[in-house]
Structure 1
Amino acid sequence: MQTKRIVITGGASGLGYALAQMAAQKGWQVAILDRDTERGEAVLPSLQRLQPATLFFPCDVTRISDLENVARVLEQRWQGVDVLVNNAGVAQVGKLTDTSISDWQWIIDINLLGVVRGCKAFIPLMQQQGGGHIVNVASMAGLLDVPNMTSYNATKAAVVSLSETLENELAADNIKVTAVCPSFFKTNLGKGMRSSIEGMDVKLEKLMSQSKLNATDIAKAIMRALERQQSYTLPHRHGRFAWYMKRFLPRAWYRRVLHKQVKKHDES
């Protein structure tokens, strides 16, 4: 894969940082964006040892002005951006009846509108240069319907739909779009998670620690998706299996299997 210019939101930790490391190792020009300025400044030297030109920008994806400012600076420094990875996200767990409207607004503002803002800030630059690739990090939660995760599922499903729609809208501009849908893996998703279910932080940590894939594995899947220009990447085997069941089994059968699995996790 040829040298590219990549921008990653939520790039100071977790999947974003793993992807930044991988891109820097390949000699790509890398810019990580994160609202955690202290963390961003702390990890920047490790990335610059791999690629001296790596940049860090303090950026809050709930502010379109932050993203537009980064786009302007990179247009001047890099003369364009080849890959945008909308990775920043948060988690909220609970039944719809137990989730406040303010929590809904919070997660929508970051998980969905954060992706929208990233796209609005960088698509004009990609159109101007004649092409590019957008990677939107969704989740298997956006394809499945696990109970007690109403708001999270809804925002990730919206990111999948947004990605599919953009793929159609931007085809004439030679801009590719990929939706990434991992299952649980070890990351910092639990940090700042909002939950109305007691003990959910412990359960989430257990689910993530049991995953056979880590952030580096998901980053590798994203790099393959970029190279192959895939519309989707579902890195977890069990996640793909669950999605196939939802697509091809009668709804009642699928729901019985789903609830059996949820009960198994609740009892473990």
Structure 2
Amino acid sequence: MFDLTGKVAVVTGASSGLGAQMAEGLAEAGADVAILARRIDRLESLKEKITAMGRKCEAYACDVSSEEDICKAISSVEKDFGTIDIMVNNAGVVISGASHEYSSENWDKVMAVNSRAVFLASREAVKVMLKHNYGKIINIASVAGLAGGPQSASYNASKASVINLTRGLATEYAKNNITVNAIAPGMFATEMTEGIMGTVDDSAAGRTPMGRIGRSGELNGALIYLASDASSYTTGQTIAVDGGWISLL
């Protein structure tokens, strides 16, 4: 039920961190993978790893804040792979700051990447999935979308919108055999979180029931479940992978 052999997966924000880990995880489960990011040069080593597994992998330059880039990339994936079975909307950005000093420009940047882009990429992927009456959309939200936090209003709002967008799309396309679910990660050490948290291990581990932050690859269990036929009757759900973080709030 968890075998992804013959499936085609797309992962945005795959140049580093969780996106790269998830792309590898999908390939390990048997999927061919299209990897998207702004920094296409950083996708090359990941492409080499995936092709070394015997999977097809292609890299595409895509700034998800650009509707043109998203449409072009999804069209290219369909042309190169023939279909899209799994769409993982992972690309994200954090710009922290006190709300009373926060600029509308920064708000718009966060919402463009974390919320608007998820809709646009899902919209384009659904157009492909409808042709085959099959699809799995997996949106990477955050525990920050389930609870508030200081100096994170834009991030909280953007990730909360992803969670409810997931529900809306799930109800709209369930009849077309397209499931839409979300994963809400807790704290993982990535390029993005290290930049905003500083001593991420100490601060996050201290408030997580498991006493540690997430390890490399620990999102992949939930990811493969949602990407595979094991989740054929699961849609509109958000799975927190957070070491118990949200249970304390």
TM-score interval, normalised by the smaller of the two chains: 0.7 to 0.9
Offset at 1:52? 4.3
Distance 2:42 2:201 in 1: 21
Given that 2:30 and 2:55 are in contact with CA atoms closer than 8 Å, whether structure 1 keeps it comes out as no
| Contact kept in structure 2, 1:140 and 1:182, CA below 8 Å | yes
Corresponding residue for 1:261? none
- Quick one: distance in 1 between partners of 2:242 and 2:226? 14
Of 221, 234, 239, which aligns to 1:233? 239
Contact 2:28 2:53 in 1 (8 A): yes
* 1:88 has 2:91 as partner: yes
Matching residue of 2:22: 19
Alignment of structure 1 residues 2-13 onto 2, 5 Å: 2-3=4-5, 4-13=7-16
Aligned to 1:60, the other structure's residue is in SS state: coil
1:120-139 mapped onto 2 (5 Å cutoff): 120-139=123-142
Structure with greater contact order relative to length (CA < 8 Å, sep ≥ 6): 2
- Structure 1 runs not aligned, ≥5 long: 194-199, 246-268
Give 1:215 deviation, angstroms. Answer: 3.4
Q: Counterpart of 2:241 in 1: which secondary structure?
A: coil
Q: 1:205 Cα shift?
A: 6.2
What is the CA deviation profile of residues 148-191 of structure 1, one whole-angstrom value per residue up to 9, with x for unaligned ones? 21111000001101001111111111110111111111112247
Tell whether 2:156 aligns with 1:153. yes
Amino acid at match of 1:57: Y
Contact 2:189 2:213 in 1 (8 A): no
Q: Which residue of 1 aligns with 2:220?
A: 219
Verify: 1:114 aligned to 2:110, yes or no. no
Number of the residue aligned with 2:105: 102
Aligned residues: 236
Residue in structure 2 matched with residue 162 of structure 1 by the alignment: 165
| Equivalent-residue separation in structure 1 for 2:219 and 2:189 (angstroms) | 10
1:206 Cα offset (Å): 4.5
Q: Does 1:202 align with 2:230?
A: no
CA deviations 1:116-142 (Å, max 9, x no partner) are: 111122111111111201000000000
- Are residues 14 and 26 of structure 1, via their aligned partners in 2, closer, same or farther at CA, if it must alter by over 3 Å? same
Distance 2:46 2:204 in 1: 23
Greater fraction of residues in helix: 1
Contact persistence 1:40–1:58 (CA under 8 A): no
Q: Secondary structure at the residue paired with 1:181?
A: strand
Match of 2:175 among 172, 175, 196: 172
SS in 2 for 1:133: strand
Whole-angstrom CA distance in 1 between matches of 2:59 and 2:202: 32
2:208 corresponds to:
none
1:34-89 alpha-carbon deviations (Å, 9 max, x no partner): 10122112332122211341111111101122222222222223221100000000
Secondary structure of the 1:93 match is: coil
Residue 203 of structure 1: how far off its partner (Å): 4.5
1:193-245, CA deviations, whole angstroms, 9 ceiling, x for partnerless residues? 6xxxxxx5424464467734223001222112333424221112322413xx5
| TM-score using structure 1 length | 0.81
Considering only aligned residues, what root-mean-square deviation do their CA atoms show, in Å?
Answer: 2.0
Distance 1:167 1:71 in 2: 20
User: Sequence identity of aligned pairs in percent?
Assistant: 28
Distance 1:208-1:69 versus aligned 2 partners, 3 A rule: farther
Letter in 2 for 1:202: G
Tell me if the contact between 2:61 and 2:73 (Cα under 8 Å) persists in the aligned partners. Answer: no
The amino acid across from 2:105 in the alignment is: S
